[in-house]
Chains A and B, each alone.
Chain A
Amino acid sequence: MSVARRVAIVDNERCVGCQLCMFACTRRRGYGGLGFSAIHVKSTGGIESGFTVIVCRACPDPPCQKVCPTGALTVREGGGVRLNMDKCIGCGYCVDACPFGAIFWNPEVNKPIVCVYCGYCVDFCPHKVLTFEEVKP
């Protein structure tokens, strides 16, 4: 069995707001831009006050999964969720349930965007904000 990993934020005070992680996430799928990004960076109240990074923390007991009415979201072994697009009806309950706002939305297909825990974005963080680590129980 492989170890469950997740993207973790080491220190968001190091974040300069370059958003390379966001671009990496969509690029991994073969696109430019930000349409498929499951990680988000925004200022905490204007650029002068620094940035916050939002990404799935791979909850061991994920609230998003609990509200999914069709079973499209299932708990990943070790923490976090998997999305089965075929079962998803695009109700958006999962988006509301996540306290971090870490489930994003793709309006083009009307479906959520959920982190797949690949760690690709971490390779493009030039300022050591992100790390790819084992989910600890």
Chain B
Amino acid sequence: MTLGKVLYIDLSKRRSWVEDRSELFSDRLGGVGVAIKLLEEELPKGADPLGPDNVIVFAVGPLTGLYPMASKTVALFKSPLTGNLGESHAGGRSAVAIRLTGYGAIVIKGASESPIYLAIHNGRVFFRDASGLWGVGSSLTVGRVIREREPGAGVRTIMRIGRAGERLVRYACVNTETYRHFGRLGLGAVFGSKKLKAVVISGKSSINVKDPASYRKVYDRIYEMATKTALMRKYHDIGTSMNVQPLNTIRGLPTRNLKEASFEEAHMISGENLAENYLGRRVACSHCPVACIHLAALREPYEDEPYFYKTTMISYDYELIYALGSMLGVSDPEGMLRLMNEVEVLGMDAISTGVVLAWMTEAYERGVISDDDTAGLKPRWGDWRVYLKAIRMIVEQPTEFYRDLAMGVAYAASKNGGEDYALAFGGNEMPGYHTGPAAHLGFLTGARHSHLDSAGYSLDQRLLKKGLKPSVEKVVDYLISEESWRQILSSLVVCYFARGIYRPEMVEEALKPVGYSLDVEALRKLGLEILRDKNRFKVREGFNPEKLKPPKRIYETPTPLGHVDEKLMEEAVKLFYERLAL
């Protein structure tokens, strides 16, 4: 089994080697379970996130290349945005390429003196000069250039950064296959600090299976569930943008920096409207029948010549619509799509960028910042043209204020004022759910301060529907149990969208023919252990749960479940870490 092979790459010495870590993969499956151990081992305590000591770990899992929807790559690193755990997941062709080039994980350390990109083909590593690619305006161009230069079409991933990563914007992302991203927590800046412009990986090997007959049987069941039941329908029909209208109806859609929780023009930016008028193509990650990636075709005329048009394919999802639509009061779908394209071109996390711009707008409105700060831009809700310019300014950083914005909203507010409405949790910008206390509790306590950690937003919505008001203990226990289970999914690198298929019993079944015998109880135990490991790592790097405080704004604007109670929230955070028992 090649899963146990870990490829180490030292960018400083331009050297690579392979170690057999089969035992680690047997104990911890793969993905985040393995990656957190490798990060702990390799990262010196207190390392500068943007120094050569930072380490990037990419890991895939035992189901990758074998079953559908186990196609995520987990990236762990020290986050330059929060200063502790950086964790980001992306699909595309990345996971399958890593596994079929012959590895379960890739560890990248050190830093190059001059720009380089890495090419890994059939397990062999090549260090390629990237000085000509450094500074290229669009991450899309970088992808295009590498596509032409490198082999492996169809079975490769091309991870790359844009200008934002080069300029060390703390929430720069890494794009892969143009429309998938290691989005959150600043992996792009870590790439940039290492002068690593891109990583291309290709491979096409086969994987031995212990029991081929039962493997095919389990496969067929998963395939049937994915294609012939309603479990995945939401994702393949309208996609995640289907959430816009329902969240708006219950008044849980953060709008204009969460001054409000519903947007009067939500129907303009809804998934339904985008699908009807702009959806141009749907595409899939490798080995996923769902094809949730929705690409809008934006047709724009050139102003200097009649009958001269360009058509741009722009990927959209719920979180982007929230961050670059309702949060900025942008209702013109074409303006919103242009903003999405701009963050793609520059390589920035869309959620963080939107939240930063929303805070900037409110701070400007309140006179906390001036025209000197903004270099003459006058941010105004709904004015996508000014936001388009502001995004570029965050990357180019012509004034100190834009340098602050490039550090994240928490930093910008701590320096300029307006912390009460700077929407960050644990240093990470807020995702698009103001559904109730569980969502915010999840943002605060989730190991990566993301809505995906424990999905409190989903609990809130269920409670609303059923009219239930559970105790704080119950909510905390639910969040811990959900986040623990998700560590298993992320160790198998199963997409969270497929969590309805990969229930614990199904995971147990799917692992058997591959050679793992872990029952549901053992899986759950391992999940909790991994969650603890991640939190211990955070604490090791300076994270202090006692200092966790949400921005005041979340208490001011009512949620669908009423005003969030500050006291209750504090109590819940305390309880969460008590129960987690680090």
Contacts and interface: CB of A to CB of B under 8 A. Distances in A.
A82 to B, nearest CB: 22
Contacts of A32: 65-66, 206-209, 215
Nearest to B155: A34
B189 to A, nearest CB: 25
Contact of B65 (A18, A30, A34): A34
Contacts of B281: 48, 50
Interface residues of B, number: 43
Contact of B178 (A20, A42, A46): A46
Interface string B129-152: 000000000001001100100000
Nearest to B313: A48
A26 B206 contact: yes
B206 A18 contact: no
Nearest to B177: A47
A127 interface: yes
B207 A33 contact: yes
B205 A19 contact: no
B168 to A, nearest CB: 27
Given A35-B205, A35-B206, A46 B289 contact: no
B216 interface: yes
Given A32-B207, A34-B205, A36-B206, A46 B144 contact: yes
A60 B284 CA distance: 34
A27 B283 contact: no
Nearest to A29: B206
B291 interface: yes
Contact of B216 (A27, A34, A40, A108): A27
A4 to B, nearest CB: 26
A23 B177 contact: no
A19 B285 CA distance: 9
Interface in A85-137: 107-108, 124, 126-127
Contacts of B290: 18
Given A33-B99, A33-B100, A34-B65, A18 B219 contact: no
In the complex, the 5 A-B pairs of residues with the closest C-beta atoms, listed nearest first: A35-B206, A42-B154, A32-B207, A30-B212, A16-B291
Interface of B: 65-66, 68, 96, 99-100, 122, 140, 143-144, 147, 153-155, 177-179, 204-209, 212, 215-216, 219, 223, 226-227, 281-291, 295, 313
Given A16-B283, A19-B284, 20 more contacts: A16-B291, A18-B287, A18-B289, A27-B216, A27-B219, A31-B207, A31-B209, A31-B212, A32-B65, A32-B66, A32-B208, A33-B206, A34-B65, A34-B96, A34-B100, A34-B204, A47-B177, A48-B281, A108-B205, A126-B227
